[in-house]
């Protein structure tokens, strides 16, 4: 088999409900979708969700590397030789992780379609569904409680609260949410790098009765020693998100025991091939793993879901980045039922433009 054509197009999607986190407010997102055509009439699909703050990319830079790097490289290649292609492409896309993730997804999609199996079965097939958290951005208390109750009514069992701008308000809000939702709903808190070590410890100590499941990325991404101080000083699991961008980061975090949990986002790390290596480091270090996402089309969520379903040591999923998007061209690539995500059970990533 060989690649005979590579196409890509951008899509900008508005959010039904804009949201705010510690370092930005978001009202729309731009993704790049690619199609890799083969001489056996199989088409692999991938998506890039660039983010200036997280992946340090824009839709313009992704388009540029599609034209100058990916298209001339991929044409004529055997798409089933995923390790060779990604290994050779990676040095040229070192600063373009979501673009690398996009082509990585397309190759794995072809692999699944060639074999006639959903990708999660090829990757391990450990489970068939995964409960996802649903995120509430930074809002006033009354609006936060209203959103949480609506999500629970819709069947979600895991709520992730965003904070990091004001520790006093975060403490009050977290306690009030627990009181309103009862003890059976899992709560996670993401400070998005907004706290100092002292604020992190105070937040955890003063929200003990809220029984938080995870404290995600409380301190600045590049100051790993601060993250380690929080991890050693608090009673709940601490997760690295923005501090984990690649395999080397995973090794540093694991070797120095700086966190309890890591958040693997395919867009940050460059796709499934790299995520498999990072996941192995986490397993060796006895770190829990979450599969997370950006604001990305359902096709990207599908790739994260297939990965999460396949690996036994993935404990958490935060795959809600598609739920608020308007006019997502890949809508239907995953199925949501009562807080659980399922694949379509079709081959590969489970989506084709001509049949969905």
The upper half-sphere exposure of residue 189, i.e. CA atoms within 13 Å in the direction of its Cβ, equals: 31
Cβ(172)–Cβ(195) under 8 Å? no
The upper half-sphere exposure of residue 53, i.e. CA atoms within 13 Å in the direction of its Cβ, equals: 15
The pLDDT of residue 23: 72
Domains of the chain: 3-116 (3.30.390.10), 121-343 (3.20.20.120)
E strand residue ranges, the chain: 3-20, 25-38, 43-48, 130-131, 134-136, 158-162, 186-190, 214-216, 238-240, 261-265, 288-292, 314-317, 334-337, 340-343
Calculate the CA dihedral of residues 275, 317, 120, 333 and round it to 10 degrees. -110
The pLDDT of residue 196: 97
Per-residue pLDDT of the chain in tens (356 residues, 90 and over written 9) = 999 999 999 999 999 887 888 777 788 999 999 999 999 999 999 999 999 999 999 999 999 999 999 999 999 999 999 999 999 999 999 999 999 999 999 999 999 999 999 999 999 999 999 999 999 999 999 999 999 999 999 999 999 999 999 999 999 999 999 999 999 999 999 999 999 999 999 999 999 999 999 999 999 999 999 999 999 999 999 999 999 999 999 999 999 999 999 999 999 999 999 999 999 999 999 999 999 999 999 999 999 999 999 999 999 999 999 999 999 999 999 999 999 999 999 999 999 997 54
Residues sharing a CB contact under 8 Å with residue 327, sequence separation 6 or more, in sequence order:
11, 13, 14
Cβ(62)–Cβ(32) under 8 Å? yes
Centre a 10 Å sphere on the Cβ of residue 40 and count the other Cβ atoms it contains. 12
Sign of the CA dihedral 18, 191, 303, 32? positive
> Rounded to 5 degrees, what are φ and ψ at 337?
-140, 115
Distance CA 76, CA 67 (A): 16
The pLDDT of residue 27: 85
Question: Regarding beta strands 186-190 and 214-216, do their DSSP bridges make them parallel or antiparallel, or are they unpaired?
Answer: parallel
Centre a 10 Å sphere on the Cβ of residue 214 and count the other Cβ atoms it contains. 24
Cβ(102)–Cβ(46) under 8 Å? yes
Query: Which residues share a beta bridge with 118?
Result: 348
Distance CA 190, CA 222 (A): 17
Distance CA 54, CA 22 (A): 13
Tell whether pTM > 0.85.
yes
């Amino acid at each position: 088999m060989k690649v005979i054509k590579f196409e890509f197009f951008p899509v900008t999607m508005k959010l039904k409900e804009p949201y705010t986190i510690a370092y930005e407010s978001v009202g729309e997102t731009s993704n790049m979708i690619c199609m890799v055509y083969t001489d056996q009439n199989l088409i692999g699909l991938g998506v890039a969700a660039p983010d200036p703050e997280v992946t340090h990319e824009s839709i313009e830079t992704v388009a540029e590397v599609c034209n100058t790097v990916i298209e001339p490289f991929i044409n004529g290649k055997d798409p089933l030789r995923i390790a060779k292609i990604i290994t050779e492409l990676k040095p040229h896309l070192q600063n373009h992780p979501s673009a690398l993730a996009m082509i990585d997804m397309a190759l794995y999609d072809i692999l699944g379609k060639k074999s006639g199996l959903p990708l999660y079965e090829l990757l391990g097939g450990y489970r068939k569904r995964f409960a996802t958290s649903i995120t509430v951005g930074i809002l006033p208390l009354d609006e936060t409680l209203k959103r949480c109750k609506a999500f629970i009514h819709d069947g979600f069992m895991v709520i992730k609260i965003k904070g990091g701008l004001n520790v006093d308000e975060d403490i009050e809000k977290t306690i009030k949410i627990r009181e309103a939702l009862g003890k059976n709903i899992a709560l996670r808190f993401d400070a998005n790098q907004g706290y100092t070590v002292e604020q992190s410890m105070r937040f955890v100590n003063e929200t003990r009765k809220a029984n938080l499941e995870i404290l995600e990325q409380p301190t600045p991404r590049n100051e790993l020693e601060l993250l380690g101080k929080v991890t050693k000083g608090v009673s709940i699991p601490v997760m690295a998100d923005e501090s984990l961008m690649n395999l080397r980061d995973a090794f540093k975090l694991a070797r120095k025991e700086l966190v309890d949990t890591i958040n693997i986002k395919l867009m940050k790390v460059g796709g499934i091939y790299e995520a498999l290596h990072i996941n192995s480091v986490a397993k060796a270090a006895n770190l829990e793993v979450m599969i997370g996402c950006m604001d990305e089309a359902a096709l990207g969520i599908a790739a994260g879901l297939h990965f999460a379903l396949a690996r036994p040591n993935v404990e958490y999923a935060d795959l809600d980045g598609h739920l608020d998007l308007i006019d997502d061209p890949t809508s239907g690539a995953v199925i949501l039922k009562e807080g659980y995500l399922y694949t379509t059970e079709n081959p590969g990533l489970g989506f084709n433009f001509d049949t969905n």
